[in-house]
Every structure is written in structure tokens, then in C-alpha cells.
Structure 1
Amino acid sequence: MPSAENLILIGILLLALVTVESGGYFLTRVVRGKVPANRLQQNFFRAGHAHAAVLLVLSIAILAVISHAALDGFWLWLARVGVPIAAILMPAGFFLSVIGRDPERPNRLIVLLWAGVAVLTAALITGGIGLIAGGIAAL
């Protein structure tokens, strides 16, 4: 059973999925030509939308089991909130790096994408190792 803190965070993440849903509506307007966007913007909008949804769902899955990890302090915090943080940073990098009228390439805000990648990688490695160690300890 997830802890009370994890249950609250799972509830917040479920509500955050509603924002992804509204982003899906925006994306349908883009692909129907109702919102002007060049090919780069369309591709980045799709990638941002997909990453947001997948990372939020992955966050919920992790929170359901992370209390069994052999982690504490900073490492437990990273394993708990790293993926939700990446779920903010990565889509923000995709969306914000192509704002403006007809950009030819992503702007400097693409750094948000790479920061999200770094946080995601650290959280997944930490959580994975912690869960393996917790599982071994429970044998």
C-alpha cells in the first residue's frame, strides 16, 4: 500500500493528466490547421504531449511501489519525485523551445528537455536499484 504522501502525490498526478487531456485538444486544433504551426512545431508539440502523458502515468506506477525500495533521504526523494519533475521539464522543453512564428530550429529553452532527461535518468536508476535492493532484502 502506498504511503499517505504517495497517495496525495498520485491524486495530484491524476489531476495533472487533465491538463494533458486539454493539451490533446490543442494538438487536434494544430493538426486540423486551426492553429498555425510549422512541421517542427507540430513534431515538438506531439512529442511534448506524448512525453507528458507517459511520464505522468509512469510516475503513478512508481509511487505505487517505491515504498518497498531500500532507499531513504535524498535518494528516496529522487526516486519519488524525479519522474514527475521530468514530466514537467521535458514537455516544457518541447513546447517552449518552438514558440514563436515559424521557428526554423528549437531555441535555448530546449535545455529544459535535456534537464528533464537528466532528472528522469537519475530517478529511474535510483528507483530501479532501490527496488532491486528492497526485493533482495525481502527474500
Structure 2
Amino acid sequence: MLLITVPAVAFGGISLLAHIMRNIPGYLDNPVRRGLWRAGHAHAGVLVLFALVAMLYVDQAALTEGTRTLVRILIAAAPILMPLGFFLSVVRPSDTKPNKLIWLTAAGGVCLGTGAILLGIGLI
């Protein structure tokens, strides 16, 4: 499932580049939206790579099968939730401050932290 997100991140990068190259209104002229979209794209790329590497270690961890499943879900949720929070919190070109969906970034962070801690405990 995580491998499906790699082309999505690449598409997101192309979309951001198109906004810049074509000077699409609501991106370059909106610093809040521009900053959050760049952050969303960057977090997506880094977190997908982290998740792919972390998945290699899940089966090596001394965890119950249920906990392994939970770790997989938590770590895979982070590169989905965090960027969604960045993107969807300023979805309209006229948005000058994030809406309540910015909390998806915090939810993704909680998933990432919890999954990483559980995995780390299982690897000790």
C-alpha cells in the first residue's frame, strides 16, 4: 500500500511545480497556502521513505502479531494524515489561515510517534 503513495508524492511535486511555472492564482500570491503546501509535500516524501524503511523492521521486532499490525497501521497512517492536514487546511486559494483540518497533522504526528516508539521497544 505504501508504494502506491510514491507516485502520489511525485504527482504532488509536479502539481506544485505547475503552480509555480504557470503562476496559478492562489499559490504564489498566498504565502500561507504556499508554505503549508510545501510543508505537506515535504512531509509526504520524507514520511513515505521512513515508513518504507520502518516496515522492514516490523517483522524483526519482538512484538505480538496484533502489535505488529498496529505498528504497521500507525506508521503507514502518518505519511497520509500529516500531508492531508497541510493540504486540506488551506484548500481554497483565498484561505489565509488554516481551517480545523490542520489537526490531521497532529494526528499523523501522534501515529508516527506511537508507531515508532512501539517499534523501537520491540527492537530493543
Normalising by structure 2, report the TM-score: 0.90
User: What's the Cα RMSD here?
Assistant: 1.4
- Whole-Å Cα distance in 1 between the matches of residues 22 and 117 of structure 2? 41
- Whole-Å Cα distance in 2 between the matches of residues 122 and 116 of structure 1? 10
What residue is the counterpart of 2:12 in the other structure? 23
What's the offset of the Cα at 1:24?
0.4
Question: Is the contact between residue 33 and residue 96 of structure 2 (CA under 8 Å) also seen in structure 1?
Answer: no
What residue is the counterpart of 1:107 in the other structure? 99
Q: Is residue 55 of structure 1 aligned with residue 44 of structure 2?
A: no
- Whole-Å Cα distance in 2 between the matches of residues 56 and 71 of structure 1? 23
Q: Structure 1 residues 47, 39: closer, same or farther in 2, change over 3 A?
A: same
SS of the residue 1:68 aligns to: coil
Radius of gyration: which is bigger? 1
What residue is the counterpart of 1:14 in the other structure? 3
Gaps of 5+ in 1: 1-11, 133-139
- Whole-Å Cα distance in 2 between the matches of residues 15 and 119 of structure 1? 19
What's the offset of the Cα at 1:29?
1.7
Listed as ranges, the matches of 1:59-70 within 5 Å are 59-70=51-62
State which drifts further: 78-87 or 103-112.
78-87
- Whole-Å Cα distance in 1 between the matches of residues 67 and 3 of structure 2? 24
- Whole-Å Cα distance in 2 between the matches of residues 101 and 15 of structure 1? 27
What residue is the counterpart of 2:84 in the other structure? 92
Question: Is the contact between residue 30 and residue 42 of structure 1 (CA under 8 Å) also seen in structure 2?
Answer: no
What residue is the counterpart of 1:6 in the other structure? none
What's the offset of the Cα at 1:73?
3.8
What residue is the counterpart of 2:24 in the other structure? 35
From 48, 55, 64, the counterpart of 1:72: 64
Normalising by structure 1, report the TM-score: 0.81
Percent of paired sites with the same residue: 39
Q: Which letter maps to 1:52? A: A
What residue is the counterpart of 1:121 in the other structure? 113
SS of the residue 2:70 aligns to: helix
